[in-house]
Each structure stands twice: as C-alpha cells, then as structure tokens.
Structure 1
Amino acid sequence: MSDDTEMTVDPGTWGALLAPRLAQFAAVARHEHVTRAAQELGMPQSTLSRALARLEADLGVALFARHGRAVRLTRAGLTFRAAAERALAEVERSAESVRLDADPDGGRVAFGFLHTLGPETVPSLLRAFRADHPRVRFQLVQTYGEAMLERLRLGELDLCLTSPVPDEAGLVVRKLDEQRLRLVVPAGHRLADRKRVRLAEAASEAFVTLEPGYGLRRITDALCAEAGFAPRVAFEGEEAETLRGLVAAGLGVAVLPPPAVPRPGVVEVDLAGRRAVREIGLAWLDGAPAPAPVAAFRSFLLSRKGALLPGA
C-alpha cells in the first residue's frame, strides 16, 4: 500500500474510534498545554502527542494550532470541544446513575404490577419494605400482564407482579398468592341475594370485561369456557373499578377480584369451584444481574408468600 493511500472510516465506527480519545482531547483543550494535560492524565507527554496526531488524522482536520508544547484550538477544535464535553458529561452522569442504582441502601428498583394491585397491595408492600430500606428509590410501572412481561423481557423492569402466572423460558416465576374471584352484579340483580353461584348461571348475562391481553380477561374467558359458554361481551375496559361502575349502572356483570374499597351499587357474589381464583406471581428475567436493592426487594416479596394480598 502506498503512503498516499487515503484511509476511510465507516461512520458506524466513529464512536468506538473516538471514545477513548475524548478525555485526552478535552484535557489538552482545557490546559492549552500538552505537558500539563499529560501530567493530569498520568501519561507520557509523547504518548499524548501521538494520540492527538492520530485523532486529527482520523478526523481529517487540524484541532490545534501548535506553539511548542502550548496549543490553541482551531475553529474546528472549538466545535469538537463542545461536542466532546457534552459526551463526557453524559458518560459521567450515566456512570453516576448506574453507581447509585447499585447502592444497597439507596439504589433503584424498576417494579411493574397490575392495575388491580395498585390501590392497596403495592402501596402497603412499599411502605413495609421502605421501613428498613428508606433510601431505595422505585420506578413504578402499572400496566396489564402482556405489556409488563414484554418490558421485563426487554430489561426495562427488574421485577413484576403479574397474573396469570407465566410459564415460559427465560423467566423465573414464583407464585406468591391467590385471590378468589367473584361475580359482580348490580344491586337488585336476580343473583344478588346469593352467597355463591356457579358461573354457568350467568351465561345469559351481558359481561363487562377487561380488554384482550389483560390477564384477568384470559382468566374470565377460560372460566366461562369451562362453564360451557362464551361470554357475551357488552363493554371492554382497561381498569377494574371502571368495570364495577359499568356493573353498577346495570350494563352487565363482571368477574373480578375483591375491591380495595367496597363500591355502592354492586354486589360481589362468590363463585363456586376451586379454580375460580387468580394466582399472583413474582417474575424476573432469568440470569439478569440483581443489584443489591433489587435482590433485597425480591427477597422481601418472596417472604410475603401467602400473605401478599390484604384480606386474601
């Protein structure tokens, strides 16, 4: 290869090529002196000089005007300095954030849970946990089961409480508790004075349910199929208390877990059958690192097995 052969750099490699040199460039730009910058960086002056020359050669521009070991930024150097300082500051912020997240006393836990666990269960869990870990911070994600598991798979969540309990490769899941499901009917409904009903007795009713993709919707559909019918769905929603409001308005019946606070206008009737339950499980990504605060919260939740749900 001749000496005048021009080297081209794939744009996709610029980050890897420049990243190790940004701190060196920024130090020289700050001191406007190669020797003083080398002393700050703890490296030989000759090594730093060669690194700067390679940086300029790779970029194809002069970043410094040299006067002995003193240097002055060119116009291109001034532009590059601003970008380099922003990049280094962002790396510093990210490194500090990662360090804080791993702090056993004050790190962060990304925790997902179902909407129906939000009003009472999750707040009581967090209050109990933070009594011994007051500095741990939480990123709370409240959504439906399939969306939550997808965020878990993507690494956006550390832990999640979900239902039905998933069984899939790549996830570790532990059943923690279960809730008896009830048939929710309007006050004055023909089944409202019953202590317990078979779901088949509601086969002719209009149902209000959560939307497809919600775990409770899958459970409802499965229970109805087991009872020998497909529910006639009149309304679909995203939140259990909204469904109770629709039932109170006489727009249908619903299969729901117990409410955090009793709602007027509806009657909650126990469903017969051992399988009329909703299992709640704790899930995390198999093999994912568990920083100290995540491990502590996971151990805390596992210790609540059988006593996770108030009144369950």
Structure 2
Amino acid sequence: MSVTNSVAHPEHGEVAWDGLLAPRLAQFAAVARHEHVTRAAQQLGVPQSTLSRAMARLEADLEVTLFARHGRTVSLTPAGRAFLASVDRALDGVRRAAEEVRADADPDSGKVAFGFLHTLGPETVPSLLREFRADHPRVRFQLVQNYGEAMLERLRAGDLDLCLTAPLPDAPDLVVRSLDEQRLRLVVPEGHRLAGRKRVRVAEAEGEWFVTLETGYGLRRITDALCEEAGFTPKVAFEGEEAETLRGLVAAGLGVALLPPPAVPRPGVVELAVTAPKAVREIGVAWLEGHPDTPPVTAFKRFLLARRGRLLPR
C-alpha cells in the first residue's frame, strides 16, 4: 500500500502526519532508549510482536530506516537519531501541556480565567477575590478587563471561564445570572447649573453635552436608553473607553455623564442621584451553556452566586 493512500488527508490529499505518528512516538522513543524491542515492550506493557510491527510500519510510512537490527538488539541509524531528537522535544511538549492542564484543574491550586468590566476593577473585583481567597488561598486567577461585548467574545472563544458583565446579555449559548444592581449618577462639573442639587431627573440634562463610553459598551447603551426614555437624544461631545477618564472630562467642564459611583471621590465633579427614569445597571455573571467547569471554576461560580444582592460595595 502506498504512503499516500494510507495516510492522505480526506479533503486535501496531504499526508496527515500528526494522526499517523502521534500514537507511535512514545513507542519509538522507548525502543530507541532500550535498544531492545523486548525490553521496550515490557516497559510499555504491550506484546513484543505488536511493538515490532509498529516500528516496521513506522519506517514503512516514513520511507526511512530508523533502526539497524542486530539480532535481538537494535541501534539507531543517523536518520533515527535525528528523528529521536525531534520526538523527545514533541513528547516533552506533550508532557508539559498535560501537567499545565492538570494543574489548572487542581481543586486547591487550579486557575480561573475571569473577566470583568473596567468599572468593577478598582474596588468590586479586588474585594471579591480577597474574600474568595480566604477559603481558597492557592487558587490562581487570570484576570481580563474589557467592555461587555469583547468579554463575551472571549468567553465564546474559550479564553474565559466566567465574566461579570452589564447589561445582561440575552443569548442562547450563554447562561446568565443576575447578581446585583448598581445605581447610576448624573455627574456634572462643579459650578454647573445643577451642581447645587442632590437629586435630578435625566430630562433635566436635555441640551447638555454628554461624555460617554464608545458605542458597543454596555454603559453607553444604558445612557442612550435612559435619555431616550427621558424624551431626548444625548448630544455626545467625547467618547472614551474608561469611566474615570470620563469623570476627568466632566471635571474639565467638557460635558456631563451618567456613571456608576467612583471607587474614590473625584475632585471637580458633583455626583447627583437620578430619580427618573430609574437609572441602574444590572450586573450579572455569564458562562457558556454546557461548558464543563474545573473544580476551581465551580467553586468560584458558587461563591459569586451566593453573593446575589451583595456583590457591590454599599
């Protein structure tokens, strides 16, 4: 049988070397190390005849002589020695990869890939991690900050196990659980016509220039929806990617903004409670439907769900 017919890729007619060689690499390495098929077979726990046929088939498929036979012993040919060096690197890579995935799944010291919104980074997420790590001190976290849509893309790509997002996505491939609500405030510069107030209706900001997050950000969608409900379309002066930058723009007198509370009070701005319409963003946790969890991911997911209604600092 020709090599092409036995290992051709079903679509492209190319030799599928990975599928052909992968099961035999460890067998080849064992024979090369022992220089004896019988002893290698004993180490691998396979019949000697099976291992002999596998090595002969490997040479036939590669169309290269890897071993010189000397009775019951074998030695590597120059081609065999070159092949062994590459096989050792490949097997070492497989071993390292296996160790990494096993370590990531370890219940006590595994890894959680966790995404969250920029606005939750300064205070909420550090507090959550501190509380979780009190009972799980060795669990490791890969933290990703991004806006909602980008995080959901990474969730679907398998880069994240869980993410905190707002507003809550409605997608059949995701499981989403509401965790808390965060009140938004109308942020105005000191000296603004509304700065002396404690509470304000969104409609009272009609005609003002707004500084907002870019289109596609969840908070931008909420801002647009609140203004629409109040009867106007906001005039956008500046678009940014981070809430505290927007506060800085407000402090500079460049507009007003609807934002969640800051982690640390910002000088130069006044934060007004919004009475109507109800100005909140619902924050929840999302994960892929049907995606199997490792033990550390399961533990952190349970931790988050147990904090429904008290996720955010009060």
TM-score (norm 1): 0.95
Which of 128, 132, 149 in structure 1 is aligned with 2:131? 128
Structure 1, residues 13-39: CA drift from partner, whole Å, max 9, x if none?
221111110000111122222222122
- Over aligned residue pairs, what C-alpha RMSD do you find? 1.2
> In the alignment, does 2:91 pair up with 1:95?
no
Residue 238 of structure 2 aligns to a residue in which SS?
Answer: strand
Mapping 1:3-18, distance limit 5 Å:
6-8=2-4, 9-10=7-8, 11=14, 13-18=16-21
Q: Supply the distance in 2 between the matched residues of 1:197 and 1:12 (Cα, whole angstroms).
A: 70
**Counterpart residue number, 1:59:** 62
**Counterpart residue number, 1:193:** 196
> In the alignment, does 2:188 pair up with 1:182?
no
Deviates more, 1:72-81 or 1:132-141: 72-81
**Equivalent AA in structure 2 for residue 169 of structure 1:** P
Deviation at 1:274, TM superposition (A): 5.1
Q: Supply the distance in 2 between the matched residues of 1:190 and 1:156 (Cα, whole angstroms).
A: 47
Deviation at 1:229, TM superposition (A): 1.5
Deviation at 1:197, TM superposition (A): 1.1
Structure 1's unaligned 5+ residue stretches are: none
Deviation at 1:12, TM superposition (A): 5.5
Q: Supply the distance in 1 between the matched residues of 2:81 and 2:156 (Cα, whole angstroms).
A: 43
Q: Supply the distance in 1 between the matched residues of 2:228 and 2:274 (Cα, whole angstroms).
A: 15
Deviation at 1:231, TM superposition (A): 1.3
Q: Supply the distance in 2 between the matched residues of 1:184 and 1:205 (Cα, whole angstroms).
A: 12
Deviation at 1:156, TM superposition (A): 1.5
Residue 59 of structure 2 aligns to a residue in which SS?
Answer: helix
**Equivalent AA in structure 1 for residue 86 of structure 2:** A
Partners of 2:149 and 2:217 within 8 A in 1: yes
Partners of 2:183 and 2:280 within 8 A in 1: yes
Deviation at 1:92, TM superposition (A): 1.0
Q: Supply the distance in 1 between the matched residues of 2:290 and 2:178 (Cα, whole angstroms).
A: 19
Residue 131 of structure 1 aligns to a residue in which SS?
Answer: helix
Deviation at 1:272, TM superposition (A): 1.6
Which of 292, 295, 299 in structure 2 is aligned with 1:296? 299
Q: Supply the distance in 1 between the matched residues of 2:15 and 2:97 (Cα, whole angstroms).
A: 22
Residue 3 of structure 2 aligns to a residue in which SS?
Answer: coil
Q: 1:123 to 1:89 in 2, by over 3 A?
A: same
Identity of aligned residues (%): 77
Paired residue total: 307
